Amino acid sequence: MSKRIKFLTLPVLATLFVVIGVANAPAQPKPDYIINEITIAPTNPDSDDIITITAVVRNNGDDTALASVLDINLDSETNPTTYTVPGLLKHTNFTQNRIVGLLAPGSHSVTATADSTNILDEKKEDNNALTLNFNVTAGPPDLIVESLSYLPPTPVTGDLVTITAIVKNQGDQDAAASILEILLSNESEPSTHTIPLLAPNATYQVERGVIFDQIGVYDVTATADANDDVAESNEGNNVATDSITVESAEGPDLIVTIDHDPADPTIDDTLNVTAAVENAGNDAAGTSTLEIDFGGLNGIETYEIPPLDPGEIYQIDSQFVNPLPGNYQVSATADLYDDVDESREYNNIDSDDIHVSAPDLVVSSLDHTPANPDIVDEVTITAIVENIGDATASTSTLELDVNGDVETYEIPALAPAETYQVDRQIVLGAPGSYTVNATADLYNDVNESNETNNTAMDTIDVSDMPDLIVSSLDHSPDNPFINDIITLTAVVQNIGGTAATTSTLELDVEGEAGPVTFTIPALLPDESSQVQMQVIKSAPGTYEVTATADFDDDNEESNEDNNISLYSFSVRGTGPDLIISSLVYEPAMPFADQPTTITALIENAGNAGATSSTLWILVGAAIMPETFEIKPLAPAEIIQAQLIMIPPDPGTYAITATADAEDVVMESDETNNDEIIDIDVFNSDAAKLRRYLLGILALTEEEKPFYDINQDGVVDVADLITLLIL
């Protein structure tokens, strides 16, 4: 039994030993590089300091590392500076310095990254970098003489020499006001010049004029901050020097002066350009050549200048009528080909800057209010005319064109940058998109620098509105009697271009206790809504009905004056009522001498029988009517009567039919017995011509000229129309 136990338990113990042995195996040693420290020196640098960055790399692991790469990155530069770090034993350091030049004032950062190329197998790979943020304060100001120069470059005795010194603050803080000294070697005391406060990198120019009476070399010394008023970062760079060589002024000396008149010309002026050549030397000058470069005014011209004695002047005048606007530099060169041996050869050139100004009228603003008008709104169109040129514009005309509806306005003279506003009120009245074109200087009264920018355009989108009307008002039955139920039907329609909201209809029937109102639903354009009202009248007569759409003014409409409709209906008492329910004739286009049948229908529209009566039919201006005896008629019964007339002449005949002409029937309504129509009778020649045109009959050659009414050589429909009119 025990043997079996040992046999079975040995493999289990072995397995446990193996598992426990693997779990307790020691880890493999590895290096671990970190940036132990980053420092800068000086610790609080300013913008004049050279900064040393020190990064300390440490192997914080438990094994020696191979050589690797260290990055020191300043202000996230694209290409940081790299350094080789030798292999480090565990727990040892490597120190690396980086020198950086002057930094601008402000915030900066430096990041050091150990093993930046990831060639080491480290215990931890996410702890290789360290960043240091630091501030650089602005350094003190530093005043220098940036440049020292003089003109003319080769002066002679008697010349006015201009010495120019430019003082600059190349420091990083403002430099307070200071003194610049300019000292010539032939002077015992310098000239002094006040330099105002200068911001960093700001400059200030000083000019000093000197006349040298004797030839020689003159040293020039310019000293910035001569009184040490400014505490500078560098006190040893304040001085600049130069030398001036002055030669003799013997001999002729041709100079040129160029000028223009008027001083501020416009494109409406005549511009005079004058070049004066003078012999400023002390000896006579022979014949020479003057060149004038007029630039865009007129190109380059040359002129022969005659011999000139000392002090003598020769003048050239040029005129330009209505010069184009713009900036021109006109330059003149005396003794162009160096024909004269002069004491000074550097002073032959002069130039003149000419600005020709011009007005320029534009519509600088074109707008309308309200921004989204309805068809009933009064729209105010506002146009602003502005002179964007640099000369005064004379009186001009502005045109405002709204889809062909044109108005013009006088615009007063406008100085440069001056504006003038015009307002136009208009009710457009119909929906749609309207184009407003505004044109400044409509009649080209103003000579402008730009004649192509006078117009502006605006678009006005006009919205439609609802318009509620009572489009129909009727009653049934058509001829009610007293005590009948009478149904009044009113139809409200939106004839506007946009939907109408819910509204109220009022029906006011004469003789009723008071008006009745109905709610009309919202209606789309052209949509309608019907309401009905029933009344009973106990007395005969004519009753007025007033129907008012949108009674409570719930809708703003395009037309507020068409909401009311008036209507009347008649109520009959009991009894018969004879009327002419129809009166017609045939043929439709009768001709003279053609029999024409007139048919009248007599109806008893009452509610009781009618006794025998008389019908009259009166034709035209006849004295006596034709008389017809009408038999007794039951209610709603109709009887027909016909009369044949032969009109003798073309023209219009009035036909009057009168029921119960002799008033023998006591009717419920005695006012509705008559009916009148007109019969237009045409020329009988037109009947024959019509048959000819239809091919029913032929015309002889002798007849054709008679029927060619308009004398165009052809008998056609035009002749028929003329005959019908006649």
- Percentage of the chain exceeding pLDDT 90: 74
Topology agreement, domain 33-136 and domain 254-356 = yes
Asked whether 683 and 709 are in contact (CB, 8 A), the reply is: no
Quote the CA–CA distance of 278 and 255 in Å, as a whole number.
5
Q: Is a pLDDT exceeding 70 seen at residue 348?
A: yes
- 3-class DSSP state of 5: helix
Taking domain 361-462, whether its CATH number is 2.40.30.10 is answered by no
Residue 18's pLDDT is what? 35
pTM (global) more than 0.75: no
Q: Is a pLDDT exceeding 50 seen at residue 587?
A: yes
Beta partners for 507? 516, 547
Taking residue 223's Cβ as centre, other Cβ atoms within 10 Å add up to: 20
Q: Is a pLDDT exceeding 70 seen at residue 20?
A: no
Q: Is a pLDDT exceeding 50 seen at residue 9?
A: no
Q: Is a pLDDT exceeding 80 seen at residue 719?
A: no
Q: Which CATH code is given to the segment(s) 578-682?
A: 2.60.40.10
pLDDT tens digits along 439-464: 999 999 999 999 999 999 999 999 99
Asked whether 383 and 375 are in contact (CB, 8 A), the reply is: no
Quote the CA–CA distance of 246 and 214 in Å, as a whole number.
7
Residue 692's pLDDT is what? 77
Rounded to the nearest 10 degrees, the angle between the axes of helix 684-693 and helix 717-725 is: 160
Residue 475 dihedral angles phi and psi, to the nearest 5°: -145, 160
Quote the CA–CA distance of 718 and 621 in Å, as a whole number.
32
Residue 725's pLDDT is what? 62
Quote the CA–CA distance of 403 and 381 in Å, as a whole number.
13
Hey, what CATH topology would domain 254-356 get? Answer: Immunoglobulin-like (2.60.40)
Residue 321's pLDDT is what? 95
Quote the CA–CA distance of 355 and 427 in Å, as a whole number.
47
Residue 150 makes CB contacts below 8 A (sequence gap 6+) with 161, 162, 163, 164, 220, 242, 244
Taking residue 137's Cβ as centre, other Cβ atoms within 10 Å add up to: 14
Quote the CA–CA distance of 127 and 185 in Å, as a whole number.
68
pLDDT tens digits along 631-684: 999 999 999 999 999 988 888 899 999 999 999 999 888 889 999 999 988 776
Q: Is a pLDDT exceeding 70 seen at residue 546?
A: yes
What number of H helices and E strands is found in the chain?
4, 42
CATH of 468-571, one of 2.60.40.10, 2.40.50.140, 3.40.220.10, 2.70.98.50: 2.60.40.10
pLDDT tens digits along 267-283: 999 999 999 999 988 89
CATH of 33-136, one of 2.60.40.10, 3.30.540.10, 2.60.120.10, 3.40.50.300: 2.60.40.10
* Burial group, residue 610, by CB count within 10 angstroms (0-12, 13-18, 19+): buried
- Percentage of the chain exceeding pLDDT 70: 95
Residue 726's pLDDT is what? 59
Beta partners for 164? 149, 207
Q: Which residue has the higher pLDDT, 492 or 592?
A: 492
Hey, what CATH topology would domain 143-246 get? Answer: Immunoglobulin-like (2.60.40)
Q: Where are the domains of the chain?
A: 33-136, 143-246, 254-356, 361-462, 468-571, 578-682, 685-725
Q: What's the token pair of residue 509?
A: 């029937």
Q: What's the token pair of residue 19?
A: 């598992």
Q: Is a pLDDT exceeding 80 seen at residue 404?
A: yes
* Burial group, residue 468, by CB count within 10 angstroms (0-12, 13-18, 19+): buried
